[in-house]
Structure 1
């Protein structure tokens, strides 16, 4: 008997069989829209929501477009870095394997996606939150077949989860008359509709093992450059901002209720509305010079919905709150992330040093 046990141990060492289980790392699974997308839409060839052209990604890695709708990092990137967690690759990344998932987790976020299936339909291709959860279920099957049911359950229960959607449900659905939701609901009933849907989605995630989960709230959507340029005065759209506040109030209440109802859950609602509003209202206080127009713009032709190679870049990207008509700059994302880290007292999952950002000064060219 001792001989057989010794032989099994030797074979295990030779072939790298982990006798004690998978020894899985703590990773992240991220569900979101363009504020968290790290490349899924890049592989959705028919999607109109794209960040695949210069100057996207100019302050990230090699400076080439990587699928992020920013010049640099996302809020989820920065929070994960500070917690010592690996950056999860896009679900559609061709290099994604079971081993990569076990090492880094997965990011399912998709530009144009929403809590509701109908949101962003005019982008043609995008992953709604229900679709992202469906893809996560497929990921679970892969991992179960790789490490076994018990190890997989432990892996998914120890992982961190981020859910960051909602702005498209307003900007690219409810506030646009081409969508039936805009005349089916009023402000109150539409937020209730969103919350009812989100409740079912978060319960579904809990049933799939999500125990440590953070839902991001919405910032002052009415102050993004796209909304400002649609008003005659250039001011923030007050109604749109009030919808964001209403969403955050209802979302915070929902998370409190689920935290009490769902066993072993540690659910949090990350509301950075006030700090983002303060940055936009008082940019100089935070070291910004511009908080009402995009760094990457097509001269006086606005709104140019995406940043393109023919666009002009501002001289110093670290001085702009917004990168394009929709999305914050790397530096603004850093400020938002640090506020959430401070608010929730996030602890590091390990002691490794987080990746450092690249410089945010425009390249020496005509742009």
Structure 2
């Protein structure tokens, strides 16, 4: 897109000259609610943004001409599973997650941002952490059905927000369809990337007790890395490689042009 990466919030005082490229308030592992990491959730991240507006680090003109990207990667659901949340409780929990996300989107708009992009949830059932049980051959349909419920509620929430603002202020970046387009690609789309086994990660533990980056008490590596990371869609059990994200970006281009 020709846009430089925004500076991370925690480095804001070290790179003042980069403020013109925007700021990244995200923290890995976080969600709309508190998860299994101690970093600030999305509400607190927006608090940081609001404080920078209040102290005139970003003025009204900066904000009105900017695009906000709001990404929810599914960490709330990982935390729900980690805390032994029940299958029966999933629909109500998903509803609460999307409701809070809607509150966050509305708040960002209220701070003066005129265009807000929010990501649909990617197919979590296709992440290697879920496909390992099938030797990376099949996505988990049950997980993806829950993801589809999340995305349906998000579509409804965004439609309502756009109706309230009487403009197409909010745009959904459909990571679900983009991921599936790449994962199902047989190489018959000109310019698209075909991955030999897209569900298999490049980096993984040598056994079920280890993961990418694991070492034993003697510092001996307990993971393997594929010979050519560019040939893999996923880097580890949850994250795409650079080549994987490039393929997703190409699948998203039509939507990105709306911003």
| TM-score of the two chains, using structure 2 as the length reference | 0.85
Give distance in 2, aligned partners of 1:343 and 1:205.
Answer: 21
Summarize the Cα distance change of 1:287–1:266 in structure 2 as closer, same or farther, 3 Å threshold.
same
Say if 2:21 is the partner of 1:104: yes
Q: RMSD of aligned C-alpha atoms?
A: 2.5
- Secondary structure of the 2:10 match is coil
Q: Which residue of 2 aligns with 1:287?
A: 194
Larger Rg: 1
Summarize the Cα distance change of 1:96–1:255 in structure 2 as closer, same or farther, 3 Å threshold.
farther
Summarize the Cα distance change of 1:233–1:306 in structure 2 as closer, same or farther, 3 Å threshold.
closer
Greater Cα shift, 212-221 or 304-313:
304-313
Structure 1 stretches of 4+ with a deviation exceeding 4 A read 282-285
Whether contact under 8 Å (2:98, 2:154) holds in the other structure is yes
Residue deviations 1:33-85 (CA, integer Å, cap 9, x gap): xxxxxxxxxxxxxxxxxxxxxxxxxxxxxxxxxxxxxxxxxxxxxxxxx1x32
Whether contact under 8 Å (1:295, 1:320) holds in the other structure is yes
Whether contact under 8 Å (1:159, 1:210) holds in the other structure is yes
- Secondary structure of the 1:112 match is coil
Please list every run of 5 or more consecutive structure 1 residues that lacks an aligned counterpart in the other structure.
1-81, 348-367
Say if 2:119 is the partner of 1:201: no
Q: Which residue of 2 aligns with 1:266?
A: 169
Give distance in 2, aligned partners of 1:228 and 1:250.
Answer: 25
Q: Which residue of 2 aligns with 1:157?
A: 64
Whether contact under 8 Å (1:89, 1:104) holds in the other structure is yes
Q: Which residue of 1 aligns with 2:46?
A: 133
Give distance in 2, aligned partners of 1:109 and 1:303.
Answer: 29
- Secondary structure of the 2:8 match is coil
- Secondary structure of the 1:276 match is helix
Give distance in 2, aligned partners of 1:187 and 1:206.
Answer: 29
Between the two proteins, the alignment pairs up a number of residues equal to: 248
Whether contact under 8 Å (1:255, 1:267) holds in the other structure is yes
| TM-score of the two chains, using structure 1 as the length reference | 0.61
Summarize the Cα distance change of 1:267–1:187 in structure 2 as closer, same or farther, 3 Å threshold.
same
Residue deviations 1:7-46 (CA, integer Å, cap 9, x gap): xxxxxxxxxxxxxxxxxxxxxxxxxxxxxxxxxxxxxxxx
* CA-CA distance at 1:314 after TM superposition: 0.9
Q: Which residue of 2 aligns with 1:87?
A: 5
Say if 2:169 is the partner of 1:169: no
Q: Which residue of 2 aligns with 1:33?
A: none
